[in-house]
Structure 1
Amino acid sequence: MTAADVSTVKVVDAEQLPGPRVQGRRVVAVVAAKLGSAVFVLWGAITLTFVVLSVLPGDRAAIVLNIQSGQTTTRSAAEIAAVDAQYGWDRPLVVQYFSYLANVLRGDFGTSWELRRPVTAIIGEQIGPTLTLTVSALLLAWLISIPWTLLTAGRSRRTKTVGSAVETITAGLPQYWLGVILLLVFAVNLRLFPVIGGVGFVGTVLPAFTLAIPLAGFIGQATRTEFDRAIRQPFVLSARTRGMSDNGVRLRHVLRHALIPGITLSGWAMGALLSGAVLVESVFARPGIGAVLVKSVSDKDFELVMGIVILISAVYVTVNLLVDVIYTVIDPRLGGSR
C-alpha cells in the first residue's frame, strides 16, 4: 500500500467517524428513549398491581369493618355500601384507576386505611432497615464473588468446572429456604446470632448472607465469562512479558475488564434485592417494608401495597436507567445494544 493509499484511508475513516455534535445528539436520543422506556415500565408495574389487587378475593369494605371493630362477623349490605362510598370503592374500576394514577402523579400515595396514616410516612419509617439490608447484601455479594472468581477463573479445566458448578448451585438457592437453613444452623443450634433479627450489625449478618449468596452466584457467572475471555487477550501476554506476576495480571488487568458485566448486573440486583428483602425480613422477623407489605397484602390495604410496589419498581427502574445512561455516555455505541 502506497503513502497516498494510507492517507486516503485515514481521510475516509475520519469522515466516517461522527463529530462531537453528532455524538451528543445520539447520546441525548438514546437517553431519551431509555427514559421513556423506564416510565413505561413503571406505569406497567402500577397498572398490573392495581388490577391484581382489585380482583383479589375478599371484600375490602368487610375487612375494614372487621379490623376497626376487632370482630370478624358478617356485615350487612348497608355497612358495606357506607364503607365503599367513604373510600370511593363504589365507583367503576376504570374511574378508580385514573383517579389513583392522577394522585400518584401529584405525589399523593393515599392513606393506609388500616393504620390511618399517610403511605409516604409509613414507608419513610420502614425503608431505612430495608435499604441497609439491600446495600449490605450487594456489597457482600461482591466480596464473595470477586475472590472466588480470582481463585477459580482462568485456571485448569477442573478448577474452572468446580468454580462454575458452585456458582450455578448458589445462584439457584431459594432465598426463603436458605434463610431458614442459616437461621436454624447459626441462630438456633450454634447461637451465634439472634433468632429475631434487629437493625444492628449482628442482626443484619444472616439476612444479608441470605440475599448475598444467590446474588454472588449470578455475579460470579457473569464475571467468570468475561474473565475467561479477557485473560486470553494480547494485553495479558504483554503484561506477563514485562515480568508481572500471574496474580498481579489477574488483579490489575483482567479483573478490571471482567467486572463490567457484573456492574451491569448490579443494576438489576438492586430491584431483586428489594423484592427478596420482603421474604427475608419475614423469615428473620426483621423490621422493614417486608413485614409491612406481607400484612398489608393479607389485609388488602390497597394504598399501602401500591405504595410499596411503586417504591420497589421505581428503585429498579432508576438504577437500571442510571446504568444505561452511564454506558451510553461512556460509549454511545453501547446504547443501542443494551
Structure 2
Amino acid sequence: MTHTVGNDGAEAAVRAPTPSLPTPTPELRRSSRSRGWVIVRGVLLRIGGGLFVLWAAATLTFFGLRLIPGDPAQAILGGPGSQASAEALAQVRADYGLDQPIWVQYIAQLGRLATGDLGTSYSLRSPVAEVIGAQIGGTLLLAALALIVAWAIALGLAVWSTRGGRIAAAVGSTLEIVAAAVPHFWLATVLVLVFSTALRWFPAVSTAGPEGLVLPVLTLALPLAGFLGQVMRESVLDALSAPFVLSARARGESENGVRWRHVLRHGSLPGIALSGWAFGFLVSGAVVVETIFARPGLGRTLLNAVQLRDVPLVVGVVLVVALGYVIMTVATDAASRLADPRLRRQGVAL
C-alpha cells in the first residue's frame, strides 16, 4: 500500500511494511523431509515388493514344471503320441536350449522376461503375448462381474443379519460359512443341475450372450461372498458400537442415515482390503469354472498349457496373473485410504 505526505511542498512516497512469512524452523524442515522420505520409501517398497512377487512367481513356476514327469521336447513336437525320432528330439533340445543345464535355462528365461519377451508357445506355435491377449478379456470380465456380485451379496447379508435380530444373525452366519466352504466344482455341478437341467433357465455351456455368464459368475461369486460376508458382518457389528456412530445418533441422525453413511462405510473396509486377494481367488477359480462351462479364458488356457508342459505359456499366464494381483493390491490399498479418513490423517504413504 502506498500513500503520500507533504514536506516543504515535496511529496514523499512511504510504503507500508508488508508482513513477512514465518521462517521455517529446523523442526518443520526436518518434519517435511521425514514426511517426504516416508512417501519415497513407501513407493520403493511397493515397487520392490511387486518385483519380488513377479520373480517368485516366475521362479516357482519354472522349477515346478520341471518336476512334472515328461520331456519338454516331446511337448514341443506334439506330445508323447507324436512318435518323434531321436534325431528330431535332439534337434528341438538344441534349438530351445533344453540340452543346457537347468540353471542355464533358468537364467536365460529370466533374461527374456526382463526384456518383456514372454517367448513362443510350444503347443500353439504363437507368441505367448498374443495368446494371452486373446484370452485375457473373457477372464477379466468373468472376475469383475463375480467380484461385483460377491460384494453385493456380502453387503446385503451383513446389513440384514445385523439388523434382523438373533434369528437373522444365525441364518446369515450359517449361509456365509456354508458358501465360503463350498468348492467351485461342486457348486458348478449343482447350479447346472438346478438351473440348466431342471429349470432350463440358463445354458449348461457358456455362450456368447449374457445368459451364458450367469452360472459361471455365480459359481465364482458365492464362495467369495461367504468369506467377505463374514469379515464385513464383524466389522459392521464393531461399527454399530463405535464412538462415531454414537455421536451421529446424538446429533439426531436417523437410523438409516447412520447405517448407510457411517456403518456400511466402515463395514466395507475389510472387503476393500481383501479385494486384492479376491482377485487371485477368482482367477484360480476360473481354471475350474472355465473348464466346466467350456468358456475360453486364461484359466482354461493355463490348464491346457500345464498338461502339455508348455513352459513359456504357463510362465506367461502366471506372470500376468501375478501382475494383476500386484496392481489390485495397490489399488485396494489406495481405495482403503480414500474410504478411511483415519489413514489419511496418519499420513501413511501409499
What TM-score do you get using the length of structure 1 for normalisation? 0.87
Instruction: Provide closer, same or farther for how the CA distance between residues 335 and 183 of structure 1 changes in structure 2, counting only shifts above 3 A.
Output: farther
**CA–CA separation in structure 1 for the residues paired with 2:309 and 2:259:** 53
Q: Secondary structure at the match of 1:160?
A: helix
In structure 2, the partner of 1:48 is: 60
Distance 2:177 2:85 in 1: 55
Out of 108, 117, 130, the position equivalent to 1:121 is: 130
Alignment match, 1:214: 223
Tell me: CA distance 1:328–1:138, structure 2 relative to 1, closer, same or farther (3 Å). closer
Partners of 2:155 and 2:347 in 1: how far apart?
A: 25
2:110 aligned with 1:101, yes or no?
A: yes
Conserved? CA contact 2:269–2:336, under 8 Å:
no
Tell me the equivalent position of 2:290.
281
Task: Return the letter of the residue paired with 1:201.
Answer: P
Which of the residues 44, 61, 65 maps onto 2:73?
Answer: 61
Aligned with 1:117: secondary structure? coil
Alpha carbons of structure 1 residues 169 and 20: separation in structure 2 relative to 1, 3 Å: farther
- Give the 4+ runs in structure 1 shifted more than 6 A: none
The 1:56/1:333 distance shift into structure 2, 3 A limit, reads farther
Indicate the larger mover: 295-304 or 27-36.
27-36
1:28 maps to which residue? 40
For the residues of structure 1 that align with 2:334 and 2:93, how far apart are their CA atoms?
45
Residue equivalent to 2:279: 270
CA distance in 2 between counterparts of 1:278 and 1:73 reads: 27
296, 301, 310: which one aligns with 2:310: 301
2:70 is paired with a residue whose SS is coil
Asked whether 1:316 is paired with 2:325, we answer yes
Bigger CA drift: 316-325 or 172-181?
316-325
Amino acid at match of 1:45: A
Cα displacement (A) at 1:163:
1.8
Distance 1:159 1:327, change over 3 A: closer
Structure 2 Cα separation of the partners of residues 298 and 267 of structure 1: 28
The one-letter code sitting in structure 1 at the alignment partner of 2:274 is L
- Which letter maps to 2:63? V
Distance 1:202 1:229, change over 3 A: same
- Over 3 Å counting, the alpha-carbon distance change for 1:59 and 1:230 in structure 2 is same
Who is 1:176 aligned against? 185
What is the deviation of 1:291? 1.9
- State how far apart, in whole Å, the 1-side matches of 2:45 and 2:176 are: 35
* Root-mean-square deviation over aligned CA pairs: 2.4
Is the CA contact (8 Å cut-off) linking 2:203 and 2:212 kept in structure 1?
yes
In terms of mean alpha carbon deviation, does 276-285 or 194-203 score higher?
194-203
* Partner residue, 2:24: none
Shift of 1:22: 2.4
Q: Among all aligned residue pairs of Structure 1 and Structure 2, give the percentage whose two residues are the same amino acid.
A: 45
Letter in 2 for 1:297: V
CA contact (8 A) 2:161 2:172 kept: yes
Flag structure 2 segments of 5+ consecutive residues without an equivalent. 1-26
Query: Quick one: distance in 1 between partners of 2:38 and 2:135?
Result: 41
- Establish whether residue 196 from structure 1 lines up as the match of residue 208 from structure 2: no
Taking structure 1 as reference, are residues 118 and 75 closer, same or farther at Cα in structure 2, changes over 3 Å only?
A: closer
Which one has a larger percent helix, Structure 1 or Structure 2?
1
How do 1:200-279 and structure 2 match up within 5 A? Answer: 200-279=209-288
Query: What is the SS of the residue equivalent to 2:316?
Result: helix
The change in CA–CA distance for 1:46 and 1:259 in structure 2 (over 3 A counts) is same
Deviates more, 1:49-58 or 1:22-31: 22-31
Q: Which ranges in structure 1 are unaligned for 5 or more consecutive residues?
A: 1-14
1:8-19 equivalences under 5 Å are: 19=31
CA drift at 1:307: 0.7
Q: Deviations over 1:122-156 (max 9, x none)?
A: 11011111110000000111111111111112553
SS at match of 2:278: helix
Contact 2:236 2:266 in 1 (8 A): yes
> Which residue identity lines up with residue 52 of structure 1 in the other structure?
G
Give the structure-2-normalised TM-score: 0.84
Q: How far is 1:25 from its partner?
A: 1.9
| Equivalent pair of 1:84/1:90 in contact (CA under 8 Å) | yes
Q: CA deviation at 1:233?
A: 1.7
Partners of 1:110 and 1:63 lie apart in 2 by 15
Contact 1:219-1:262 at 8 Å conserved across structures: yes
1: distance between equivalents of 2:337 and 2:217? 32
Equivalence map 1:65-104=2 (5 Å): 65-67=77-79, 72=81, 74-104=83-113
Q: Is the 8 A contact 1:327 1:334 kept in 2?
A: no
Structure 2 residue matching 1:112: 3-state secondary structure: coil
**Correspondence for 1:162:** 171
Q: In 1, are the aligned partners of 2:75 and 2:122 still within 8 Å (CA)?
A: no
